[in-house]
Amino acid sequence: VPETPGRGRDLQSLIERARQGDPRAVARLVSLVEDGSGQLRELMTAIAPLAGKARVIGLTGAPGVGKSTLTSALLGAFRADGSRVGVLAVDPSSPFTGGALLGDRVRMQGHATDRDVFIRSMASRGHLGGLAAATGQAVRVLDAAGFEVILIETVGVGQAEVEIASLADSTLVLVAPGMGDAIQAAKAGILEIADLFVVNKADRDGAQQVVRDLRNMIALSDYDAAAWKPPIVTTVAVRDEGLEELVSRLARHAAWLHESGELERRRLARARDEVTAIALAVLRRRMGEPDGLAGQSRLGLLAQRVVDGELDPFSAADELLTTVTRNSSAGTGSG
Ligand X SMILES: Nc1nc2c(ncn2[C@@H]2O[C@H](COP(=O)(O)OP(=O)(O)OP(=O)(O)O)[C@@H](O)[C@H]2O)c(=O)[nH]1
By the criterion CB under 6 A, which residues form the site for ligand X?
Answer: 63-69, 98, 101, 155, 200-201, 203-204, 236-238
Per CB under 5 A, 60 contacts Mg ion: no
Torsional class of 199: left (φ above 0), alpha (ψ -120 to 50), beta (otherwise): beta
Measuring CA to CA, which residue among 207, 74, 264 is closest to residue 152?
A: 74
Q: Where are the beta strands (DSSP E) in the chain?
A: 55-61, 85-90, 117-122, 149-155, 170-175, 196-199, 232-234
Distance CA 58, CA 74 (A): 11
Contact predicate 178/66, CB 8 Å: no
* Closer residue to ligand X in complex, CB, 112/268: 112
CB of 90 to Mg ion, least distance (A): 10
Please choose which of ligand X, Mg ion, none residue 140 contacts, taking the beta carbon within 5 to 8 angstroms, the exact cut-off set by kind: none
Residue 237 binding result from ligand X, Mg ion, none, given CB thresholds of 5 to 8 Å by partner type: ligand X
- 72 scored as a contact of Mg ion (CB under 5 A): no
Least distance in angstroms from the C-beta of 84 to ligand X: 22
Query: Judged by CB under 5 A, which of 60, 68, 121, 124 binds Mg ion?
Result: 68
Cβ pair 43, 29 in contact under 8 A: yes
| Least separation in angstroms between CB 59 and Mg ion | 9
Q: Would you count residue 242 as binding Mg ion (CB under 5 A)? A: no
CB of 67 to Mg ion, least distance (A): 5
Binds Mg ion by CB under 5 A, chosen from 36, 98, 156, 230: 98
Q: Give 213-258 as a DSSP string.
A: HHHHHHHHS---TTSPPPPEEE-BGGGTBTHHHHHHHHHHHHHHHH
Position of minimal CB gap to Mg ion? 68
Contact set for Mg ion, span 133-172 (CB under 5 A): none
> Which helix (H) or strand (E) is 274 found in, with range?
helix 262-288
Residue 136 CB, nearest approach to ligand X (Å): 20
CB 60 within 8 A of CB 171: yes
Residue ranges in contact with Mg ion by CB under 5 A: 67-68, 98
